[in-house]
Amino acid sequence: MSIFNNRSKTMPVAAPPSEPANEPASGTAAPPPAHATVEKTDAQWRQELTPEEYRVLRQAGTERPYTGEFWDTHTRGVYQCRACGTDLFTSNEKFDSHCGWPSFWAPLAEGTVRYIHDRSMGMDRVEVRCATCDSHLGHVFDGEGYGTPTDQRFCINSVSLKLVPADGAGK
């Protein structure tokens, strides 16, 4: 089922394809259990996050293109939610889209992200949020012709992510 054919408030996650050998396994993490959600007050989030992290993660902001830490990074590893540390994406699914933000063609595993129909700013988009802490990550776009296995581009804010390099991986 495509996430783009279902415009309900919360959309199902498409299962990621298998990954190449010698990379971190993108399908090995189990979806977070329903009881593993992170709930904090607005004051707690403001205390824990920098002003820019708070603006993007908690207020659904967007960082300027080509300014984030990971838009042009090719380091092998796992990308976690900056707010709660949940594993979200891997370098296996990261690709160069030249859009100015980190781009992935699939999340790490089913259930790590959730989808919301976003009609803000006069656009019709699909917002991507962390399934554990409900932080805004970015948006996913379909059918842009990048030639990736899913023909999807998860356009994610660098400030929403932390990169945990694979053993021996350098920047």
Catalytic residue ranges: 155
57-80 burial, b at 16+ Cβ within 10 Å, e below that, comes to bbebebbeeeebebbebeebbbbb
Q: How far apart are CA 18 and CA 5, in angstroms?
A: 23
For tokens 């593993």, the residue is: 36
Distances (CA, A) of 74 to 39, 103, 140, 166: 32, 11, 20, 12
Q: Are strands 94-95 and 87-90 parallel, antiparallel or unpaired?
A: unpaired
